[in-house]
Amino acid sequence: MTANAILKINPDRSAELVFAGEWILNAVIENRAAVLAAFEKPDFDRAVFNGRDVTNWNSELTALLVRLVKLCKKNNVAYVLKDFPAGVEPLLNLAFAVPEHAVSGEIVRGEPFVTVLGNIVLDFWKQTKGVFSFCRQIHASFKRFFFRRAVLRKQDFLIELQRAGVEAFAIVSLICFLVGLILAFVGSIQLKMFGAQIYVSSLVAISITRVMGAIMTGVIMAGRTGASYAATLGSMQVNEEVDALKTMGISPFDFLIMPRVLALTLMMPLLTVYADLMGILGGAFVGIFMLGLSPEDYFRMTLKALLMRNIIIGIIHGAVYGVIIAVCGCYQGINCGRNASAVGSATTSAVVYSIIWMTIATAVLTFFFTMGGV
C-alpha cells in the first residue's frame, strides 16, 4: 500500500499537488517530507490540491491536508481543493470549524512595560464597571421584590433556603467543632505555663463568637454554596437557559439571582450562631477530656465570657459574608462563557473572590468596631 503526493511548481508562481494511491492507515507515503518542506517556505503564491488519482482514503489524507492548509494560511498562500473523493472537503471544513484554543493572559514578549501596565489597568476598570453594573441590577431587583413586582417563585426561594441552611449543617458542624478543638488545644499550651487552663473556655468563647465562627462558616459556604451558584448559573449560560428567560421577558436577576442572594443572606447569620455553638463544644471537649476541667467550671467560665456584643458582631460578619458569597457566585456564573472550561473558571473565581472579599470585609469591620470601642 503506497500513497504519493506529486508537487509541480509552475513559472507563474502557482503550484499543483496531486495526491495518488491509497491514503489509508500504515500506508507508505512517498515525498511527504519534501512536500512539507516546500510548503514551509513556499516559492509560490497559489496552490491547487488535486485528488483525482486517490483510490482509497481515510484520516491519513485529511490529516496531511489539514497540515498543508495551515501552512498555506500561515504563509498567505491561496489554495483550492479539486477532484477529491466525496467526503474529504466536508471533513476538512469540519476540522477548521472550531478555532484553535487561544491561551489567554499571556504577555506578548517585546511589549513595553507601560503598554502591559495600561492593559492591566484597562482590564481592571472594565471588570470594576461590570461589578458595579451587576450590583445596580441586584439593587433594582430587590426594589421590585419589596414592591411585589419581581418574578420570583416561592418554592425556588424555599429550596435555596434548604440548600444554604439545613444541608450545610453537617459540614459546618464538623469544621467548626474541629476549629474550636484546635483553638482550645493551642491556647492550653501557653495557659498551662501559668496554671490558667480554666481560661481556655474564655479564649474559645470570645474568639469563636466574635469572628472565627463567622469566618469559618464563610469559607465553608464559599467553597460549597458560592461555587454551586457559579456552576449552576454558568451551566444555564452554556445551555442558553438564561437567554430563554430574557426572551420570555423574565429578568434573570429576579428569577435566578434574587432567591439565592436572599437565601444565603438570611441563612448565614443562623449558620454563624450554630457554628459558634459547635466551636464552643469543640473547646469543651479539649477542656473537659484533655485538660481535666470539670464541666460545671468550664461552662460557667464560658457563660461569663459570652458577651452579647461579641455574638452580635459575629452575626453581622456572617450577614456580610452571606451577601459577598452570593454576589460573587452569581456574578461569576451569570457572566460565564459558553463552554465547559468557562464554567470551571467561573466556579474557581467565585470561591477565590469570595474569600478575598471576605478577608477585606473582616479587616474593614474590625477597624470600625475597634474605632467604635465595640
pLDDT tens figures, 116-151: 889 899 988 988 898 899 999 999 998 988 888 888
Q: Give the per-residue pLDDT at 91.
A: 85
Residues 84 and 165 in one domain: no
- Is residue 103 domain-resident? no
113-133 burial, b if ≥16 CB within 10 A, otherwise e? eeeeeeeeeeeeeeeeeeeee
326 SS3 class: helix
Residues 255 and 306 in one domain: yes
* Confidence label for 35 from pLDDT (cuts 50, 70 and 90): confident
Residues 181 and 279 in one domain: yes
- Evaluate whether 34 touches 1 at the Cβ level (below 8 Å): no
- Is residue 110 domain-resident? no
- Is residue 118 domain-resident? no
Residues 164 and 32 in one domain: no
- Is residue 119 domain-resident? no
- Is residue 106 domain-resident? no
Q: Average of pLDDT values for 30-44?
A: 86
Q: Give the per-residue pLDDT at 7.
A: 87
- Cα–Cα distance measured from residue 325 to residue 354, given in angstroms and rounded to the nearest whole number: 5
pLDDT digits (tens, 9 = 90+) for 254-293: 999 999 999 999 999 999 999 999 999 999 999 999 888 8
- Evaluate whether 28 touches 61 at the Cβ level (below 8 Å): no
Residues 144 and 38 in one domain: no
Q: What percent of the chain has pLDDT over 90?
A: 48
pLDDT digits (tens, 9 = 90+) for 193-228: 888 888 999 999 999 999 999 999 999 999 999 999
Output the nine-digit C-alpha cell for 53.
488519482
- Cα–Cα distance measured from residue 362 to residue 367, given in angstroms and rounded to the nearest whole number: 8
- Is residue 107 domain-resident? no
Number of domains, the chain: 2
pLDDT surpasses 80 at 345: yes
Q: Would you give the DSSP letter of residue 10?
A: -
Weakest-pLDDT range from 145-149, 162-166, 175-179, 325-329: 145-149
- Evaluate whether 169 touches 244 at the Cβ level (below 8 Å): no
Q: Point out the domain boundary residue: 44, 67, 95.
A: 95
213-221 vs 169-191: helix crossing angle, rounded to 10:
140
Residues 157 and 61 in one domain: no
Residues 237 and 294 in one domain: yes
Q: Point out the domain boundary residue: 95, 122, 152.
A: 95
Q: In terms of C-beta density within 10 A (0-12 exposed, 13-18 middle, 19 or more buried), how is residue 19 classed?
A: buried
pLDDT surpasses 50 at 22: yes
Q: What is the full DSSP assignment across 61-74? A: HHHHHHHHHHHHHH
Compute the mean pLDDT over every residue in the chain, rounded to the nearest whole number.
88
- Evaluate whether 214 touches 319 at the Cβ level (below 8 Å): no
Angstrom distances, CA of residue 327 to CA of 72, 189, 277: 48, 40, 27
Q: Give the per-residue pLDDT at 315.
A: 95
Residues 191 and 82 in one domain: no
Q: Point out the domain boundary residue: 95, 126, 148.
A: 95
Query: Which has the higher per-residue pLDDT, 23 or 161?
Result: 161
Residues 84 and 199 in one domain: no
pLDDT surpasses 50 at 108: no
Q: Give percent helix, percent strand, percent coil of the chain, each to the nearest 5.
A: 70, 10, 20
Q: Give the per-residue pLDDT at 1.
A: 61
CATH number at residue 84: 3.30.750.24
- Is residue 298 domain-resident? yes
Output the nine-digit C-alpha cell for 31.
515525498
Residues 191 and 250 in one domain: yes
Angstrom distances, CA of residue 99 to CA of 95, 96, 288, 344: 9, 6, 65, 20
* Confidence label for 109 from pLDDT (cuts 50, 70 and 90): low
Q: Would you give the DSSP letter of residue 1?
A: -
* Confidence label for 231 from pLDDT (cuts 50, 70 and 90): very high
- Cα–Cα distance measured from residue 175 to residue 160, given in angstroms and rounded to the nearest whole number: 22
Which one-letter amino acid corresponds to residue 335?
Answer: N
- Is residue 353 domain-resident? yes
- Evaluate whether 31 touches 6 at the Cβ level (below 8 Å): yes
Residues 215 and 274 in one domain: yes
261 SS3 class: helix
**Beta carbons within 8 Å of 34's beta carbon, 6+ residues apart:** 7
- Cα–Cα distance measured from residue 43 to residue 271, given in angstroms and rounded to the nearest whole number: 72
Q: Average of pLDDT values for 101-114?
A: 61
Q: Which structural domain range is residue 253 located in?
A: 134-371
Q: Give the per-residue pLDDT at 102.
A: 55
Residues 323 and 207 in one domain: yes
